[in-house]
Amino acid sequence: MKKFLALALTLAMALTMLAGCGSSASSSTPAASSSTATSEAAKGSVYFLNFKPEQDEAYQAIAKEYSSLTGVDVKVVTAASGTYEQQLKSEIAKTDAPTIFQVNGPVGYAAWKDYCADLSGTDLYSHLLDKSIAITDGSGVYGIPFVIEGYGIIYNKKILAAYTAMDGAVVKSADEIVDFATLKAVVEDMQAKKDALSIKGVFAATSLATGEDWRWQTHLANVPVYYEFQKNNVDLGDTNATAEIKFEFGQQFKNLFDLYINNSTCAPTLLGSKSVDDSMAEFALGQCAMVQNGNWAYGQISGVDGNTVKPEDVAFLPMFIGAEGEKGQGICIGTENFFCINGKASAENQQASIDFLTWLYTDAAGMAHVTNDLGFIAPFDTFGDDVKPSDPLAQDVLAWSGKANTNNVPWNFTVFPSQTFKDNFGAALLEYAQGTKTWDDVNTVVVDGWKTEKANAAG
């Protein structure tokens, strides 16, 4: 027995040693690849940490093509949804750190400014259509936006047409919805006639589960905050001016939020269990007529099994909240995706990364990938008017941005103080929807939270 035990122990030890060798062998592979990289040191290599999981496949294919074209090694790693900051924090500390990464605006830049290289002299920046949307600090340019996105209330044209054809419909066409009062009248009338329209509710579920509430605490909140900044002529670049908000249009936020939760597919008390996927599925299956989301969600709509919504049946409505002078308000168009080049990477790698991005956004082959495979509306002058993404929501965003006498709302939520602010706001909204908090409480959470979080970020 003792002999057997000794044998077993020896075996176990031998195995651990083998395992040790095994792991060291596997860890030597990146070393090997980096040694091939050093042999091509002059060329440098590119490591892009991607934020959008839905575009991972497209990026991998692009990276492969670029490598075979130029011989430059391009590695694309995609962070799982909602873990970009975590991934970036751990990856950038490595020797083999990302050379291209993304920040989400001024607040993201504040966290990563030690790592951002100045891009003002690059070709890519010179091609940027609207230079004011880049992230600048002093005379330097540290983040270049690479995609324009839009969001609003996505509606199902077929269901709305069925409604407008009914006797006693409030409006005769979607174009007549030009302010909150009309929107409210239409939605409430549709909700009353939901059985005749064979829908479960007008709006898809207002997803308020943890981590699923960004459509409200960020996107919807953008509209009242935009009106407040407009009214007070706030300069977004001035950190003192945005240190506090009064949430003056909070009541208007409540207007639209109440409309969402009270004319929905489910009771407000159930919203804590709903995710964005649930909402998009309800819309795709034709169980509801409207859902607030952006053009990126089209893939989610068309990807649902048993999807009944045809591409030509989706379009955007502006998110009217009942603010003064909202006639002519458009959808929310902007970006929270900025490329940054890792300033702590080697000079060759930085140059290789800039070359890669320049190729992607200025070369015909690269641009074809951007429009067709990534489905981006790119904000660069190299993209002619004839290059348009194929998905209907992105096309509608373009249509809105070109509309005359329309005031599209920019994405001011890039100055929202922190994730904690958004999380607390979302949690307060959930409690309001459940009836365990009053609107005044939500108001306090927003105003106080903004102030303390801005102070936290500054200190």
* Interface ranges with other proteins (CB under 8 A): 16-17, 20, 85-86, 89-90, 92-93, 107, 110-112, 114, 209-211, 267, 269-273, 417-421, 423-424, 427-428, 430-431, 434, 436, 453, 456-457, 459
Residues 6+ apart with CB under 8 A from 414: 104, 105, 106, 107, 108, 334, 336
* Residue nearer to other proteins on the CB measure, 178 or 270: 270
CB of 1 vs other proteins, minimal distance in Å: 17
Cα–Cα distance measured from residue 224 to residue 249, given in angstroms and rounded to the nearest whole number: 5
Number of H helices, E strands in the chain: 17, 12
Residue 428 CB: number of other CB atoms within 10 A? 20
What does DSSP assign to residue 410?
P
Spatial distance between the Cα atoms of 387 and 436, rounded to a whole number of angstroms: 50
Q: Give the pair of three-digit tokens for residue 34.
A: 């980096």
| Residue number with CB closer to other proteins (120 or 262) | 262
Least Å distance, CB 69 to other proteins, is 33
Looking at beta carbons only, is 373 or 431 nearer to other proteins?
A: 431
**Whole-number minimum distance, CB 81 to other proteins, in Å?**
14
Least distance to other proteins, CB of residue 274, Å: 9
d(CA 421, CA 107): 12
Kind plus residue range of the DSSP H or E element containing 339: strand 338-341
Q: For residues 327 and 344, which CB has a smaller minimum distance to other proteins in the complex?
A: 344
111 or 178: CB nearest other proteins: 111
CB of 363 to other proteins, least distance (A): 33
Q: Do 279 and 291 contact (CB within 8 A), yes or no?
A: yes
CB 92 within 8 A of CB 114: no
Rounded to the nearest 10 degrees, the angle between the axes of helix 180-192 and helix 250-262 is 20
Comparing C-alpha atoms, which of 221, 153, 267, 223 is closest to residue 426? 221
Helix locations, 328-373, DSSP H? 347-362, 364-368
Q: How far is CA 352 from the centre of its chain?
A: 27
Closest by Cα among 178, 155, 180, 227 to 405: 178
53 secondary structure, DSSP code? G
Closest approach of other proteins to the CB of residue 85, in Å: 6
Q: 7 or 196: whose CB is closer to other proteins?
A: 7
Instruction: Name which of 32 and 93 has its Cβ closer to other proteins.
Output: 93
Compare residues 85 and 189 and give the one whose CB is closer to other proteins: 85
Least separation in angstroms between CB 457 and other proteins: 6
Shortest Cβ 218–other proteins spacing (Å): 15
Q: 77 CB contacts (<8 Å, ≥6 apart)? A: 47, 48, 49, 50, 87, 91, 98
Nearest to 349 by CA among 42, 137, 12: 42
Query: What gap in Å lies between CA 328 and CA 351, rounded to an integer?
Result: 44
What minimum distance in Å lies between the beta carbon of 314 and other proteins?
29
CB 420 → other proteins: shortest distance, Å? Answer: 4
- The Cα 46–Cα 37 span in angstroms is 10
Closest to other proteins by CB, 27 vs 139, is 27
Sign of CA dihedral 272, 273, 276, 279: negative
| Nearer residue to other proteins within complex by CB, 211 or 303 | 211
**Smallest distance from other proteins to CB 386, Å:** 41
Closer CB to other proteins, 85 or 373, in the complex = 85
d(CA 118, CA 324): 41
Report, in Å, the least distance between residue 165 CB and other proteins: 34
Q: Which is nearer to other proteins, 179 or 423 (CB)?
A: 423
Q: What are phi and psi of 146, to 5 degrees?
A: -125, 0
